[in-house]
Amino acid sequence: MLTLTDLPEALRQHVAATRERVAALHAELPRNELVVWTAGNVSERVPGTEEAGLPGLFVIKPSGVSYDDLAAEVMVVCTLDGEKIDDGTPARLQPSSDTAAHAYVYRHMEHVGGVVHTHSTYATAWAARHEAIPCVLTMMADEFGGDIPVGPFALIGDDSIGRGIVDTLRESRSPAVLMAQHGPFTIGKDARAAVKAAVMCEEVARTVHVARQLGEVQRIEQAHIDSLYARYQNVYGQGGKQPEQQQDPHHGEEAGS
């Protein structure tokens, strides 16, 4: 078993910083009303392992622990096979029950640095119906680049959920997938981006549901979706990129391709 204290100092510092980020981001789940009790989790890939010639690692919350108690020192460190390393936490402290799903995503989507899972009400209601959320809002085009897809029903406990997440997201620009009759999983370049996607996923799931109560909704034309997505992903905010820097952040290709 890999032991944290045997790792190079630089990597131990990366692990510590990742633990702090993942612990802090878990507070965003109840703050944004995305979870009840402990029903949600955040993970982030530890940077620098490849440079150190070591196996990949990620940090995830311990299973079933209250968000009030999720301090950095109880964040669990796992290999990309989902195995807990000797990370300084009590041996009895088990990683999230969704660790296998997060690990599968990290093994099969190298550009992904963060994964989030919730059971947020409106997104999970769409998942209960096996129904993709149609891209009828500019906010959906901005953040999801189109519809939010539905993934297959899969039981927890092996690679089934992770495989369903990856197989679905590989066919979409969306950083969110609604796993059928379970709930949303989101990805991002880091954990903060994945948490943002989870917040935006619940917001648009609610808005589109309300709109459909009022009447028919109309999907935005694909050319407009592509234009909105390219702008938001590359120009919005304070970090506007030059044309040569622009790419699709979720899939590493040219934006709009």
**Contact call for residue 97 and ligand 5SP (CB under 6 A):** yes
Name the 3-class secondary structure at 205: helix
Q: Does 89 bind ligand 5SP (CB under 6 A)?
A: no
**Exposure of 119 by Cβ count < 10 A (0-12 exposed, 13-18 middle, 19+ buried)?**
middle
Instruction: Report residue 240 as tokens.
Output: 């506007």
108 is catalytic: no
**DSSP letter at 113?**
-
- Smaller CB distance to ligand 5SP: residue 41 or 174? 41
Q: How far is the CB of 31 from ligand 5SP (least distance, A)?
A: 17
Q: What is the dihedral of CA 187, 190, 196, 198, to 10 degrees?
A: 30
The 40-45 sheet, strands edge to edge = 76-79, 57-60, 40-45, 114-118, 183-188, 176-179, 150-151
Active site residue 236: yes
Minimum distance of ligand 5SP from residue 35's CB (angstroms): 8
Active site residue 224: no
- The active-site residue out of 14, 26, 182, 250 is 182
Tokens of 83: 């195995």
Residues 14-43 that bind ligand 5SP (CB under 6 A): 38-39, 41
Decide if residue 121 touches ligand 5SP (CB under 6 A).
no
247 is a site residue for ligand 5SP (CB under 6 A): no
84 binds ligand 5SP (CB under 6 A): no
Retrieve residue 244's tokens. Answer: 């040569």
- Residue 224 β-bridge partners: none
C-beta separation of 103 from 162 below 8 A:
yes
117 contacts ligand 5SP (rule: CB under 6 A): yes
Q: Is 2 in the site for ligand 5SP (CB under 6 A)?
A: no
User: Could you say which of 111, 158, 167, 236 is catalytic?
Assistant: 236
Q: Does 96 bind ligand 5SP (CB under 6 A)?
A: yes
The one-letter amino acid code at 56 reads G
Q: Provide the annotated active-site residues.
A: 117, 119, 142, 182, 236
**Site residues for ligand 5SP per CB under 6 A:** 38-39, 41, 61, 63-64, 96-98, 117, 119, 156
